[in-house]
Copies of this chain bind each other. A is one copy, B any other.
């Protein structure tokens, strides 16, 4: 991150050009109450939060409900059989004509404690990134200040308990300053996002009135790599398939049969190579059909997005990128076809002198608005057929394999719809104004590159906008997840502005 420091020096004046009164109040309040905020955060992070750990998930949910009740916010746990509860809370505003739902999730990614430098459920301060020579330091005693560059290490610190703590601290700050909410406010804190949000549809569908609102602010994920605030108006969808192609029934000696028995690894690479050109364009027929074009506002947002490519290339040791010279910000508004992994027999010292029996690949295709997961998989399957394959949807029998020159087993895995809210909608513009009044010019992202369920749109018909607060280098989903403290302080101010929108 050292390379961004220089850039930040120039951005600081923008970031501090803060005129939003709720944010100003939040900053004042936070400066007086950092220890109180951190104590609440540390207590919440101390409760293990893996979605499959039902007992601790329940403790998390009840703790969050109590955190709201302590503030006089009506709250309850909402669930369906077999699901982890959503913690619901509501601040009713007399005369309000609009309802804003703040979403976050309190569960975290599964982990292996052995990979962590610090115990994942013993929140621990580092004076900087532990993986970059940071040292563990104790929580400062009462009255002693926190350095905003310190990091708090714990599962869920960034993804995604920080927004919960920030929202409730912002509520305290607003009230302390005598400010009022103008909209009805609802909170929806999910308990199994990292397990695929498999029950959120059902929970919302069974409680439509309870969760109904005008806009769903999804507070999850990291800020832009430049540390500028980002606002995300959608997400790519996904369609994932496993493909296996077949050679001989079992591995054959590559000397005795090499040149004669078809090699499934070669069959697979020829198939995969047919799917994309050298510059990254997908060659599957109709792959790009039906994509909803970007609006002028979206194109402008992309043009204005910071160009972090050169830094990222250094960071990732890359000597080239796909689809050059298009910007990353634009490329994520286009679909992709990505090989997640590939396997055939063994390599290197483990390799045998064989013709492998099978070769397999897992592919994910990221989709953008106008594309459908099932239809995209259909198009890929049709492409495979056009390359001369018989496509099976279950393990092909000996007879099937004998009857066709080339056989591919294609198994469809998960699919998620893409979604994108127009930046031109009044609510979108209002959210942008609120955010920028606190955080300066934001990076406005038509859709994130990753995939998020479009459940609020699909089930409740609500617009969904993503407002992250975490640092981009938070190690989410990995070991040593951490939150940079300044990101929490900034998040409190941001939430104060959005709560009073």
Query: What is A's interface to B at a CB cutoff of 8 Å?
Result: 235-236, 238, 242, 246-263, 265-266, 268-270, 272-274, 276, 278, 280, 309, 313-323, 328, 331-332, 334-336, 338-348, 350-356, 359-362, 364, 366, 398, 401-407, 448-451, 476-478
5 A–B contact pairs at CB < 8 A?
A251-B478, A254-B340, A255-B366, A262-B318, A347-B360
Chain B residues closer than 8 Å to A314, beta-carbon distance:
402
Chain B residues closer than 8 Å to A352, beta-carbon distance:
340-341, 477
Minimum CB–CB distance for A157 against chain B, Å: 17
* A261–B316 touching, CB < 8 Å: yes
* B338–A263 touching, CB < 8 Å: yes
* B364–A316 touching, CB < 8 Å: no
Most B C-beta atoms less than 10 A away, residue of A269, A272, A450, A451: A269
Chain B residues closer than 8 Å to A354, beta-carbon distance:
340-341
Chain B residues closer than 8 Å to A350, beta-carbon distance:
341
**A256 with B332, Cβ < 8 A, contacts A316-B261, A317-B398, A398-B317 known:** yes
* B321–A260 touching, CB < 8 Å: yes
**A348 with B362, Cβ < 8 A, contacts A316-B249, A449-B253 known:** yes
Minimum CB–CB distance for A238 against chain B, Å: 8
Given the complex of chains A and B, what is the CA–CA distance between A252 and B238 in angstroms?
A: 16
**A344 with B344, Cβ < 8 A, contacts A318-B402, A319-B407 known:** no
Given the complex of chains A and B, what is the CA–CA distance between A101 and B332 in angstroms?
A: 69
* B248–A336 touching, CB < 8 Å: no
* B341–A258 touching, CB < 8 Å: no
Most B C-beta atoms less than 10 A away, residue of A323, A343, A404: A343
* B348–A253 touching, CB < 8 Å: no
Given the complex of chains A and B, what is the CA–CA distance between A276 and B266 in angstroms?
A: 8
Chain B residues closer than 8 Å to A451, beta-carbon distance:
255, 353
* B406–A248 touching, CB < 8 Å: no
* A258–B364 touching, CB < 8 Å: yes
Given the complex of chains A and B, what is the CA–CA distance between A353 and B235 in angstroms?
A: 15
* B341–A261 touching, CB < 8 Å: no
Chain B residues closer than 8 Å to A235, beta-carbon distance:
255
Q: What are the 7 tightest A-B residue pairs by CB atom distance, in nearest-first order?
A: A255-B450, A341-B345, A320-B405, A273-B273, A265-B339, A259-B336, A269-B269
Given the complex of chains A and B, what is the CA–CA distance between A351 and B338 in angstroms?
A: 12
Q: Which B residue's beta carbon lies closest to that of A387?
A: B278
Given the complex of chains A and B, what is the CA–CA distance between A71 and B191 in angstroms?
A: 80
Q: Which B residue's beta carbon lies closest to that of A404?
A: B319
Given the complex of chains A and B, what is the CA–CA distance between A254 and B364 in angstroms?
A: 8
**A366 with B319, Cβ < 8 A, contacts A340-B354, A342-B359, A343-B343 known:** no
Q: Which B residue's beta carbon lies closest to that of A313?
A: B402
Chain B residues closer than 8 Å to A268, beta-carbon distance:
269, 342
Chain B residues closer than 8 Å to A248, beta-carbon distance:
316-318
* B258–A328 touching, CB < 8 Å: no
* A322–B260 touching, CB < 8 Å: yes
Q: Which B residue's beta carbon lies closest to that of A235?
A: B255
**Additional A-B contact list (20), CB under 8 Å, known A269-B342, A272-B273, A314-B402:** A238-B255, A242-B351, A248-B318, A256-B448, A257-B449, A259-B335, A259-B336, A259-B366, A259-B449, A260-B309, A260-B323, A262-B280, A263-B338, A266-B273, A270-B276, A318-B401, A339-B344, A341-B351, A341-B354, A351-B362
**A261 with B322, Cβ < 8 A, contacts A268-B269, A341-B347, A347-B242 known:** yes
Minimum CB–CB distance for A380 against chain B, Å: 14
* A258–B355 touching, CB < 8 Å: no
Chain B residues closer than 8 Å to A313, beta-carbon distance:
402
* A339–B402 touching, CB < 8 Å: no
* A258–B319 touching, CB < 8 Å: no
Q: Which B residue's beta carbon lies closest to that of A248?
A: B316
Q: Which B residue's beta carbon lies closest to that of A316?
A: B248
* A328–B254 touching, CB < 8 Å: no
Minimum CB–CB distance for A316 against chain B, Å: 4
Minimum CB–CB distance for A184 against chain B, Å: 32
* A450–B256 touching, CB < 8 Å: yes
* A366–B450 touching, CB < 8 Å: no
Minimum CB–CB distance for A369 against chain B, Å: 15
Chain B residues closer than 8 Å to A449, beta-carbon distance:
253, 255-259
Minimum CB–CB distance for A243 against chain B, Å: 9
Chain B residues closer than 8 Å to A347, beta-carbon distance:
242, 340-343, 360-362
Given the complex of chains A and B, what is the CA–CA distance between A493 and B276 in angstroms?
A: 59
**A356 with B340, Cβ < 8 A, contacts A273-B269, A319-B403, A449-B257 known:** yes
Chain B residues closer than 8 Å to A341, beta-carbon distance:
265, 344-347, 350-352, 354, 356
